[in-house]
Structures are given as C-alpha cells and as structure tokens.
Amino acid sequence: MRFFRTLTTILATLLALFGPSNAILAESNDNIVIKGSTTILPIAQSVASAFEYHSQGVKVQVSGGGSAEGIVALIMGEADIAASSSFITQDEVLLAQLRSVYPVPFRIANDCILPVVHKSNPLRDIRSEDLKKIYRGQLNNWSQLGGPDLEIDAISRDTASGTYDVWHHIIMQGESVVTDLPLKHSNTEVVQAVASNPAAIGYISLGYLNANVKPLKVDGIMGSQRTLLDGSYLINRPLFMFTNSWPDGRTLEFINFVLHPQKGQPLIKEAGYIPLY
C-alpha cells in the first residue's frame, strides 16, 4: 500500500525490473549503506557514529527519504539496511520476491506518535475520534474543541512515510486524510510548520518532540515510555531495520551493535526513543 502510493517510486522500480539494473550492491570495502525512515534517522546517525568509532575502517552512510524509499533501496541493492518506521507491506514483499530479495526485519526500538499543536493553543487533551474528524475535514475550528476561534490547519506526513502508515491505521482506521492538507516529508518539517502557526496541528515521533511545540494527550493519556510499555497509549509502534536475508559481515556486526544492551540501545534512549530493554 505504502509503495504504490508513491508514483515516482513505482516508475523507478519498473525501470529497475524491466530495464538494465542500476543496483550498486551497497556493502563494499567495509562500507555500510542505510536508507529510509526520517523517524529512525537520528538513531541511525548516532549508532553509525559509535559503530565507526568501535570498528576502525568502517564507513556507515546514512540517509533518510522515508520508509518506503528505504525498503525499495534494499530491494534494488542500493542499501545494506532499510530503516522503516512501519512494517513492510505486502506490495513491497511482492516486489522483493520478484527481485529474489528476502527482507529480514529486526525490531530495534519502540516509539509513540504524538499529536502536537502550537504552544499558544490552550488544549491539553484530544479524543482519538476528534483527531480522525480533523483529518477527515469534519472538524474545522478549534472552538469546536474548546479552543480559540481559529480555523484548524491540519498538517500530515506524506504517504511514503511509515509515520503516515501508522496514523492511517490507528487514527484514521483505514480512511484517507482529506486531499488538500499540506504534506510534510519529515518530522522536522512538521515541527517547524506547527511551531510557526497558532492554528496548526500535526503528528510527530516522540524522538522529535521539543520545546517549540506542545504535545496533546490522546483520550486522556500522554505518549511516553511508561504509557507505551504499559499499553495504555494508543498511537505506538515498533521501529525496524531490514536486511536482505540474514545479514553477515559488517552488516551483521552493525545490527548486533544496534541491539546490544550496552552499545546501541543506550544511544536509542539518548536520541529520545524507547529502547527494547
């Protein structure tokens, strides 16, 4: 589903399938290439820096672009590791099979998705059903929710985003957001847009929350490590890294580093996310 919502990705994929292969088979000369989720980008950058320090001579190249972009890069041989903030879709699995690629998931962390508003917004809590109504265009003014008399400016992630996938599944319950919403390509862009607009609402990963925006409780519960672990916060998800088949060599070393309770996992907590243990 996520894959086929990105037209440019489809065209690039078809060219790769039926035309000359441009795959670069990422890992070479002890280099590791990681592509994908902007949510996971701070984790990947932090862990990559530490891994390079502990493994002399290894270069880890990290870039974002979205979860779908990462999965496709893995399938096309352009990345050793795909970072994805939602699980691989059936369409992506089918594409992988056509390319004789077998993506293997590694759960590396946990995350909450938080609705955020401008700091001046007096609201503290919002119902999940009202979030859906906002993004369906059925609630249009903050006064309908006990806020100021301002038209609501809802901001969404683009449809190649794993964050959008989770929001689409949990909050929208499979229904699409209205088509005229501004779509942002990263959590950072959402934070910037909401911070500069008193009428705005958006949704971001826990790791991107800062003092420039105000998080809202959902159904009376604030997203946090505690409420994720006790199961009370609604909008939560695992974060993944995928490899092509079971990894070996430097890629296996990197995955083991990410999952290690004294190496990669503390860095995940430092980045603002929720480690596995």
- What dihedral do alpha carbons 255, 209, 187, 134 form, nearest 10°? 130
- What does the alpha-carbon distance between residue 205 and residue 190 come to, in Å, rounded to a whole number? 10
Question: Tens digits of per-residue pLDDT, 142-169?
Answer: 999 999 999 999 999 998 899 999 999 9
Question: Tens digits of per-residue pLDDT, 46-105?
Answer: 999 999 999 988 999 999 999 999 999 999 999 999 999 999 999 999 999 999 999 999
- In the chain the domains, ranked by start, together with CATH numbers, are 3-110+238-270 (3.40.190.10), 111-229 (3.40.190.10)
Residue 159 pLDDT: 87
Question: Tens digits of per-residue pLDDT, 241-277?
Answer: 999 999 999 999 999 999 999 999 999 999 999 999 8
